[in-house]
Structure 1
Amino acid sequence: MQKIKTALLSYGMSGKVFHAPFLNFHPGFELIGSWERSKKLLHQDFPALKSYASLAEVLQDDIDLVVVNTPVATHYEYAKQVLEAGKHAIVEKAFTTTVAQAKELTAIAKDKNVKLSVFQNRRWDSDFKTVQQIISDKVLGKIMEAEIHFDRYNPLLSPKLHKETVSDGSGILKDLGPHIIDQALCLFGLPNSVFADIRITREHSLVDDYIDLLLYYANFRVRLKAGFFVREANPAYVIHGEKGSFLKPRGDVQEDELKLGYQPNLETWGTEPIEKQGLLHTEINGEIIREIVPTLQGNYYDFFDGVYHSIVNNSPEPVTAQEGVQVMQIIEAALQSNAQKRVIDL
């Protein structure tokens, strides 16, 4: 099996939790090392890997794929250098800070004939995969409205300074927002227009920490919400159609288990607890049903497997750069809408 030599651009939480376990587990990748700045944590988990002192050192090495998992404000600068060096790239969300930057990276990747994918791992959450299946099966009839929430209760400021310092890449719109925006686009495509309410709600916060986005489609609406003052969570997914409804709590276990040091597998990984199953209440073949729906298995491994095949077999990336551009279009429209207090056409 062809091995793709891979390097990370940081080994903080995202490198340790979301990337290294899957790159180490997938037989098609060879994790070579990570750029580390102050904290040297890589060798605690991988003593044999390289700890790079700079991005230039990474790019000078025999590396095929680079994971740009640094703060959002750095994505464009670092990804551009990676692509121009002829390396394939995975870029964390938010893809960039502007649509123009996202389009430029897309063009560079095409010009250099390298693969560029955005790390939208939440497409492979168990809860989202189940919602996707419900909509695909058309058991709700024509969709009338939908809500996707990424709610938390955490009124304290993050200890990660880059998350709380005002910059083009900080704030919940570019942190949790890309997850639910990407999921909406996966389910329903690009909307016609956007309205947004973006606020600061935590004491002493300098960056946005509450978003309420309304996506306008021709015959239905989709609401996207995220905030830090939801102690009793709403259903993460509320889908209403002409014939019925599906309500699903957020239940994917992958992030929590990865933080505990569990290692991924292909058999039981991403299996939700039964109590997190969704409720389907609809009409099928003239019969009203109200039942609990088993949750599909989630696995972020599938994203990395998609990246592997895109490089080795020249298949499409699991999340394309163009899809990253579309998420940035929604984010820019949301910022414009909030500033002008009006609906923004795309």
Structure 2
Amino acid sequence: MVKKQLNTGVIGFGLSGKVFHAPFLHTHPGFNLKKIVERNSTESKNIYPELEVVSDYKNLIKDETLDLIAICTPNTLHFSMVKECLLAGKHVVVEKPFTPTSKEADELIKISEEKERKIFVYHNRRWDGDFLSIKKILKDNLLGDLYEYEVHFDRFTPDLDQNWRDKNIPGGGILYDLGAHLIDQALNLFGYPDKLNSNIQAQRANSPVDDYFKIELEYPNLKVVLTAGMMVKDLGPRFILKGSKGTFTKYGIDPQEDALKKGLMPNTQNWGEEKKKDWGIIDIIIEDEQGNYQIETLPGNYMGFYDNVYDVIINNEKIMVKPEEARNVIKIIELAFKKNITKLQL
């Protein structure tokens, strides 16, 4: 039993609002999905007939019954909308990346502290099954001393899209889009790095924004490689970890996004479970003998993000994605765009 329901509104019903937020707010008993902003349609009403569809986001900001607003808009609108929501006394969920600049993120953090309202940045890939499995592998010290961590987020999309992600605007491009996920995961595992090196390119013909990156983060005795591209037809491993006892290699991607795009709800049976063929392979030395075997991927659980949102607001529990951590993701992106080796300071 939940203590109370949080009345919630969602701004935007594109990929983010439709796939990554509304299904969880609808099925979680702690939230009452009350309103959704759609400027040009009422598509959400077909899925959630009980809610109210409005065309102006200010309707949500002025609604005194709403406790929480989820902002699922293009990156250029994050700063202004989060600010308006905080000043109106609302708690806020905002899609990653937090803001296009770390300066904007710092300002929002300050406002949230002054208004005693929470900002939750949706770094949902912390709840990917493969990432949860890697955290357990490292916690159990199965690989010994880790000296290399490499992760890919590759796709084959040779044609430019017409959406905002492929436009030369603040927060556009692959580094802000997919890179934010990989950077957040790395910082969550290893903290802020000592050095950074980057290679950022626009590989597709006439692309106005970056569509490839390779970032290297350096830590004492550890190299972290984060890379993604839109011109990778034959996908290789997603994760490659190398340690003093052996390696872990993982292909495939968490199944939750695909399930959500098919219209499944996160209370579906066996949610987030991965097929055995996609489980990772660990190759390690066990009692002086080589051992090679599959490790079952832990179920992914994006609902864990909203579990934490509820527990922070209602039960005053610790926030799992601190806004300062999300701000640090933006700092890394800003440094990466300098395209050189930089000594980082907190």
Look up the match of 2:150: 147
Look up the match of 2:234: 232
CA apart distance, 1:213: 0.3
Is 1:120 paired with 2:123?
yes
What per-residue deviation string (whole Å, max 9, x for no partner) do you get for residues 71-130 of structure 1? Answer: 011101110111111100111011001111111111111111111111011111111111
Amino acid at match of 2:147: M
Report if aligned partners of 1:91, 1:116 keep a CA contact under 8 Å in 2: yes
**Structure 1 length-normalised TM:** 0.96
CA distance in 2, matches of 1:39, 1:156: 27
Amino acid at match of 2:214: D
CA distance in 2, matches of 1:315, 1:28: 15
Q: Tell me, what secondary structure is at the counterpart of 1:204? A: coil
Is 1:38 paired with 2:40?
yes
Look up the match of 2:188: 186
Amino acid at match of 2:25: L
CA distance in 2, matches of 1:95, 1:182: 11
**Structure 2 length-normalised TM:** 0.96
Which residue of 239, 253, 256 maps to 1:254? 256
CA apart distance, 1:285: 4.4
Amino acid at match of 2:124: N
Sequence identity percentage = 40
CA distance in 1, matches of 2:116, 2:53: 28
What per-residue deviation string (whole Å, max 9, x for no partner) do you get for residues 33-73 of structure 1? Answer: 11221233221212221122322211111110011110011
CA apart distance, 1:211: 0.6
Report if aligned partners of 1:99, 1:325 keep a CA contact under 8 Å in 2: yes
What per-residue deviation string (whole Å, max 9, x for no partner) do you get for residues 289-321 of structure 1? Answer: 111111111111111111110100111222110
Give the alignment's Cα RMSD to 1 decimal.
Answer: 1.3
Amino acid at match of 1:227: G
CA distance in 1, matches of 2:343, 2:207: 27
**What is the correspondence of 1:145-184 to structure 2 with a 5 Å cutoff?**
145-160=148-163, 162-184=164-186
What per-residue deviation string (whole Å, max 9, x for no partner) do you get for residues 141-181 of structure 1? Answer: 11111101101111111232x12221111000100011000
Q: Tell me, what secondary structure is at the counterpart of 1:90? A: strand
Look up the match of 2:95: 92
CA apart distance, 1:288: 2.7
Ranges in structure 1 where 5+ consecutive residues have no aligned partner: none
Amino acid at match of 1:46: Y
Which residue of 102, 107, 110 maps to 2:105? 102
**What is the correspondence of 1:1-346 to structure 2 with a 5 Å cutoff?**
1=2, 2-61=4-63, 62-160=65-163, 162-265=164-267, 267-336=269-338, 338=339, 341-346=340-345
What per-residue deviation string (whole Å, max 9, x for no partner) do you get for residues 222-255 of structure 1? Answer: 0000001111112111110111111111331110
CA distance in 2, matches of 1:130, 1:120: 17
